Chains A and B, each alone.
Chain A
């Protein structure tokens, strides 16, 4: 076992982990943070996406020991994040989820898209979302929710007219 120390959702956490343990399993089993969903377990579906040092990361293809000293933020730690709050509203209104399994990874990735692109158009959103797989609603609602959230955010910053 290895002892790791990291910042998890704003709080320091020190814990024993097996070196083989993925960050996803560490969050779910070790920290009871089951908002991080595990889909494919080989980096293809994006459901388990969390933030490591504020960058989207696929927690199923990171070892927990590799996050030593890093700042990790899971969907639970993004409850009051202003971009997530905005996205949550538009995901609700645009019917951007059905079963919800992919949603934590979708939200984390959508937040990153809005932080890197001002008012992204549909083509940009679809390109940047290509690594997130949804198997029930399809992508129309998800893409529309992100587009609307981006447009609202852009209006907030640039002001009307």
Chain B
């Protein structure tokens, strides 16, 4: 229950961090370490070295621009919860942040670390997908932007190359007509989710983005549900449930009846919350 022997480096700049990863592709970036340290203690991972990104000034910024907010990858859950950074989401992101683990974890865990780890039950990948977020990714030779749908590939799997670092998230700012719903089903306050449902109506006439998360694989956009809600905004009750059930079942065919009902209820509640807002 102690971490295996490892080396530790804390570069002062993003350029130094990228160079360190280029020279040592087997080194693993660490940010708050609030998931990685438990994994190290349990010996389910054992990199030769960890490279601490948590204090890189380039990752600690948060800027509200025209139509988007850019949040640095090393911004902590608690900073988002407390409104210490601009909120593009009309309250959704602070709400999501407040439900992650426990305060002592939120004080250090970062949004970029959570996405880069890509735990299948994590909150941020699902929330950021619902908000149509893109991530800025910096590597040794170039930088690129990726939508969350392309970045998150599966449990602990992302499209990141070993030498790449997520530096920030660009999140479209929701207008006054936007509505959102967020539901997370967990056995206990602070536990990882058994089901996640997120629903965002951008309010600009675009169809809603409905996300189903904590399904054992990766969060997914429910496009059939979105289309059905676009055609019939008043879709509710048993009719809505049937559409949700059909699409969810296709993403988690192995779910038993109980899990399936948890998933359907969670997604339906998120939609209902957004509809009622």
Contact = CB atoms under 8 A, between A and B. Distances in A.
A19 interface: yes
A131 B3 contact: no
Contacts of A19: 5-8, 50
B67 to A, nearest CB: 33
A49 interface: yes
A61 B7 CA distance: 16
A72 interface: no
B33 A62 contact: yes
A22 B190 contact: no
Nearest to A54: B107
A73 interface: no
B41 A42 contact: yes
B132 to A, nearest CB: 30
Q: Provide the main secondary structure of the chain B interface.
A: loop
Contacts of B78: 55
A25 to B, nearest CB: 7
B231 interface: no
Interface in A80-137: 109, 112, 127-128, 130-131
Q: Provide the main secondary structure of the chain A interface.
A: mixed
B1 A41 contact: yes
A141 interface: no
A60 to B, nearest CB: 7
Interface in B128-143: none
A22 B6 contact: no
Contacts of B37: 22, 42-43, 60-63
Q: Which of B1, B7, B104 has the most CB of A within 10 A?
A: B104
Interface string A58-86: 10111101101000000000000000000
A55 B101 CA distance: 15
Contacts of B6: 19-20
A59 to B, nearest CB: 9
B52 A112 contact: no
Contact of B108 (A41, A46, A62, A112): A62
B38 interface: yes
Interface in B26-76: 30, 33-34, 37-38, 40-42, 50, 52, 54
Interface of B: 1-8, 10, 30, 33-34, 37-38, 40-42, 50, 52, 54, 78, 101-105, 107-108, 188-190
7 contacts: A20-B3, A20-B6, A44-B38, A56-B104, A65-B10, A109-B104, A131-B101
Interface of A: 2, 18-20, 22, 25, 41-44, 46, 49, 52, 55-58, 60-63, 65-66, 68, 109, 112, 127-128, 130-131
